[in-house]
Amino acid sequence: MNNVHQTKCAKEPVAIKVENLVKTYGNDVKALDGLTFSVKAGAIFGFLGPNGAGKSTAVHIMTTLVNPDHGKVTIAGMDIISNQAVIRQTIGCVAQKSGVDLLSTGRENLTLQGQLYGLRGSQLRTRVSDLLERFHLTKVAKRPANTYSGGMQRKLDIAMGLIHRPRILFLDEPTTGLDPESRTALWESIRELAKEEGLTVLITTHYLEEADQLADEVAIIDHGKIIIKGNPEKLKEELHGDILQLELSETNSFENIEHIISDLPEIQEIMIENDSVYIRTDSSAKIVAVVLGILEKAGVNIKSTTISRPTLDDVYMKYTGKTLSKSEGEVDS
């Protein structure tokens, strides 16, 4: 790794700058439609959006794999078109599809990856051992990767993406398919890494909880554009009040409900998704009995009632009109 590039990247306050990116596939699939955002150096940035929103296309462009039709991307202050070779040394990428060779051991996978980046000898051995240690894989380093659990294989994948000491790491849905425990453990490793190595991390995810837990900043992307961007805590705070969720027995009552309760002054917003009505209110204690009374009179059967503080899911729903977690078909094993 070239020290000049490392130094330049470390001093650059903005690690990733994306300006008005447009990418069309064929004649009419507009994957990106004026995408603009930036990521501060050292931050963990969560890139959220439903299937087909344009996340992977954006990541492919930022990592120099695909050229945009229009727009500009700078990575650590360098334009991606004119500095491809240097940028590929500056970034690490962990794609959705694993790069692990399942028949090789963890150590062999890391060693080969290091050799591809020109590392040799003791420098390579030390880096491999450090990464095995950091991801708690030392004990299994001599075992073929096909004997690893999903979480261990994913850790190995991320370790491989870090072998050349990149300053910016792109993680494309790193925890998809992992069980909740492995997912939480991986979050911990990513958090530690970002802090200790001063890494900038851009993470695409379908899991709002993941973005909420990990990211300093999130951007919600849909139809190739940023819909909203900000610190998760601040975005949630902006949705002041509580969320009252009413799960209904029959969804055919939806049409009436909005009409029946929308005049109540304590109600800020009503959203309907799947089998539930979500009511945002500053006066949940006062409103809950009133709403339940009105709906009972109107003959609406309510299965359950929940009051909660706004989550990133509620932020997502406010800006996209739908929930992400319910529409994406999460895979938990």
Q: Is 331 in the site for ligand ATP (CB under 6 A)?
A: no
Judged by CB under 6 A, the number of residues near ligand ATP is 11
Separation between Cα atoms, residue 257 and residue 249, nearest integer Å: 13
Q: One-letter amino acid identity for 183? A: R
Q: What character string, x for contact with ligand ATP (CB under 6 A) and - otherwise, covers 1-40?
A: ------------------------x---x-x---------
Q: What character string, x for contact with ligand ATP (CB under 6 A) and - otherwise, covers 271-290?
A: --------------------
Separation between Cα atoms, residue 159 and residue 250, nearest integer Å: 49
Q: Is 176 in the site for ligand ATP (CB under 6 A)?
A: no
CA-closest candidate to residue 202, choices 8, 12, 59: 59
Contact window for ligand ATP (CB under 6 A) among 53-61, 79-87, 110-118, 300-308: 53-61
203 phi/psi in degrees, rounded to 5: -125, 120
Q: Is 118 in the site for ligand ATP (CB under 6 A)?
A: no
Contact window for ligand ATP (CB under 6 A) among 52-60, 119-127, 230-238, 267-275: 52-60
Q: Is 218 in the site for ligand ATP (CB under 6 A)?
A: no
Separation between Cα atoms, residue 261 and residue 97, nearest integer Å: 47
Q: Which is nearer to ligand ATP, 176 or 276 (CB)?
A: 176
Q: Which is nearer to ligand ATP, 263 or 332 (CB)?
A: 332
Smallest gap from residue 217 Cβ to ligand ATP (A): 18
Smallest gap from residue 249 Cβ to ligand ATP (A): 33
Q: Which is nearer to ligand ATP, 56 or 63 (CB)?
A: 56
CA-closest candidate to residue 175, choices 207, 143, 222, 199: 207
Q: Which is nearer to ligand ATP, 52 or 118 (CB)?
A: 52
CB burial of 197-232 (b: ≥16 within 10 Å; e: otherwise) equals: eebbbbbbbbbbbbbbbbbbbbbbbbebbbbbbeeb
Q: Is 182 in the site for ligand ATP (CB under 6 A)?
A: no
Smallest gap from residue 320 Cβ to ligand ATP (A): 13
Q: 10 Å Cβ neighbour count for 261?
A: 21
Separation between Cα atoms, residue 197 and residue 8, nearest integer Å: 15
C-alpha distances out from residue 75 to 3, 7, 161, 328, Å: 16, 13, 17, 30
Smallest gap from residue 94 Cβ to ligand ATP (A): 14
In the region spanning residues 56 to 75, those forming contacts with ligand ATP, defined by CB under 6 A, are 56-57
C-alpha distances out from residue 219 to 84, 186, 223, 231, Å: 25, 21, 13, 9
DSSP 103-155: TSBHHHHHHHHHHHTT--HHHHHHHHHHHHHHTT-GGGTTSBGGGS-HHHHHH
Q: Which is nearer to ligand ATP, 50 or 92 (CB)?
A: 50
Separation between Cα atoms, residue 66 and residue 182, nearest integer Å: 32
Q: Is 257 in the site for ligand ATP (CB under 6 A)?
A: no
Smallest gap from residue 56 Cβ to ligand ATP (A): 3
Q: Which is nearer to ligand ATP, 54 or 161 (CB)?
A: 54
Q: Is 53 in the site for ligand ATP (CB under 6 A)?
A: yes
Binding site for ligand ATP (CB under 6 A): 25, 29, 31, 49, 51-57
